[in-house]
Amino acid sequence: MLLFTPGPTPVPQNVRNAMSDETMHHRTPEFEAIFEKTRKHLFDLFATDEVVMIASSGTGAMEAAVINLCKNTLLSINSGKFGERFGKIALAHGLKNVEIKNEWDTPVSVEAVVNAVKENSDIDAIAIQISESAGGLRHPVEEIAKAVKEINPKIMIIADGITAVGVERIDVTDIDCLIAGSQKALMLPPGLSILGLSDAAIETIGSGVGYYLNLASEIKKQRQNTTAYTAATTLIIGLLEVLETIEREGGIGVLYCNTARRAKATRAALEAIGLHSYPKVPAKSMTTIDDADASKIRSALKEEYGMNVAGGQDHLKGKIFRINQMGLIAPYESIWVVNAIELILHRMGRLEYAGIASKVYNETYFKTALEQKEI
Ligand SMILES: *Cc1c(COP(=O)(O)O)cnc(C)c1O
């Protein structure tokens, strides 16, 4: 089965191999050396002042960020299920929550955030997805962060980059907390989350909030290349292998470039066969198509072509399908996906198969590759 869901994503064979060795004790010089190397790579990837790894799924890092960085009122941006989650976390911890809610295809505007911040001086943190995976959209996080810092530099900007870190270069100048999760762009099994933090965030954290998710305890330990509680050793070993693999394959810049090209080529290919891209501003992490036959297309992909793409949740259930673009994906796999969709549409009587999708994919993907003289 070809796994083409925007999380979990396929784990490369060499990474699975790296994780198949004997379990290592976490309080040993051997593991601390691995931890240190992984941390160094993470500093390059995140470009933040500090990085912290936590044994939890991505939501654990979202919760850690909210409780440690918001003391009063959180402004959460809800253009989908993950944005909604930030608000729920705030309320679960007795914090106040102000929400800006939009349809799942609509990114928040900088203006709406600026107005909300100006209207409510209790807001001390903003939580937003860079790529909101519910509908595959891209929020203008960097612009929002800049505008908010101009109003009040003390407001903490929490950016959920679970489907953005490892997908594209993120300008962290005005971002205080950047979150990543193992099972999306980082090509690992689920269970590890990572937070990149600014010096201002560390100051705000102070002695920290909570117990397991107290970031002050973790920062202190992780600066010594260890963790407050048992580290997710196997996943961290896997993470080091992922980060070294990215480097071997030409570096993170090449991965960003290939991901952008793949996203562009997939969208162009599917639009060329009459399909419609759902989000008003698509993220590079996934291609989201809204279609009356979304469910049928998805089932046919699975049953007849052995590929798993994701559907939609809540009110978008059965109305969209989402194709992953994150990680190291061979172009021939992506080409096969768009070709299979064209074949399915042919059998539904919606078009006459002509190999258009794969042609457009190839043109879009490889022409830019030749122009950029990367090969
Ligand atoms: C997957 C995802 C999460 C949640 O991560 P879990 O690992 O399921 O807890 C949060 N935000 C975004 C944007 C995601 O795609």
Give residue-wise pLDDT tens across range 173-188: 999 999 999 999 999 9
Q: How many CB atoms within 10 Å of residue 129? A: 33
pLDDT at 74 > cutoff 70: yes
52 CA distance to ligand 1 middle (Å): 17
375: pLDDT confidence band, cut at 50, 70 and 90?
very low
pLDDT at 60 > cutoff 60: yes
Domain 252-374: assigned CATH number? 3.90.1150.10
pLDDT at residue 293, rounded to an integer: 98
Q: What is the DSSP letter of 55?
A: S
Q: What value does the mean pLDDT of the chain take?
A: 97
Instruction: Evaluate: CB of 285 within 6 angstroms of ligand 1.
Output: no
283 CA distance to ligand 1 middle (Å): 15
Extract the tokens encoding 151: 């109003």
Element (H, E) at 218: helix 215-222
Nearest Cα neighbor of 39 from 236, 263, 254 is 236
Distance CA 247, CA 37 (A): 13
Instruction: Evaluate: CB of 129 within 6 angstroms of ligand 1.
Output: yes
Distance CA 62, CA 195 (A): 9
pLDDT at 373 > cutoff 90: no
pLDDT at 204 > cutoff 50: yes
**Burial classification of residue 89, based on how many CB atoms lie within 10 Å of its CB (0-12 exposed, 13-18 middle, 19 or more buried):** buried
Q: What is the largest CA-CA distance in the chain?
A: 64
91 — phi, psi (to 5°)?
-65, -35
Instruction: Evaluate: CB of 181 within 6 angstroms of ligand 1.
Output: yes
Residue reference for tokens 């190999």: 355
44 CA distance to ligand 1 middle (Å): 22
Q: Is the dihedral of CA 325, 326, 331, 334 positive or negative?
A: negative
244 CA distance to ligand 1 middle (Å): 24
Extract the tokens encoding 195: 């937070």
Instruction: Evaluate: CB of 364 within 6 angstroms of ligand 1.
Output: no
272 — phi, psi (to 5°)?
-65, -20
The atom number, within ligand 1, closest to the CA of 132 reads 13
Tell me the pTM. Answer: 0.97
pLDDT at residue 372, rounded to an integer: 66
Instruction: Evaluate: CB of 336 within 6 angstroms of ligand 1.
Output: no
What 61-64 contacts at long range (C-beta under 8 Å, 24+ apart), as own/partner pairs, is: 61/179, 61/180, 61/181, 61/193, 61/194, 61/195, 62/86, 62/89, 62/127, 62/158, 62/160, 62/179, 63/89, 63/213, 64/195, 64/210, 64/213, 64/215
181 CA distance to ligand 1 middle (Å): 7
**Sheet hosting strand 50-54, strand order edge to edge:** 50-54, 193-197, 177-181, 156-160, 123-129, 73-78, 96-101
- Atom 5, ligand 1: which residue's CA is nearest? 58
Mean pLDDT for 187-212 is 98
CATH of 11-248, one of 3.40.640.10, 3.20.20.70, 1.10.3720.10, 3.40.1010.20: 3.40.640.10
Distance CA 162, CA 154 (A): 24
162 CA distance to ligand 1 middle (Å): 6
Q: What percent of the chain has pLDDT over 90?
A: 98
Structural domain spans, the chain: 11-248, 252-374
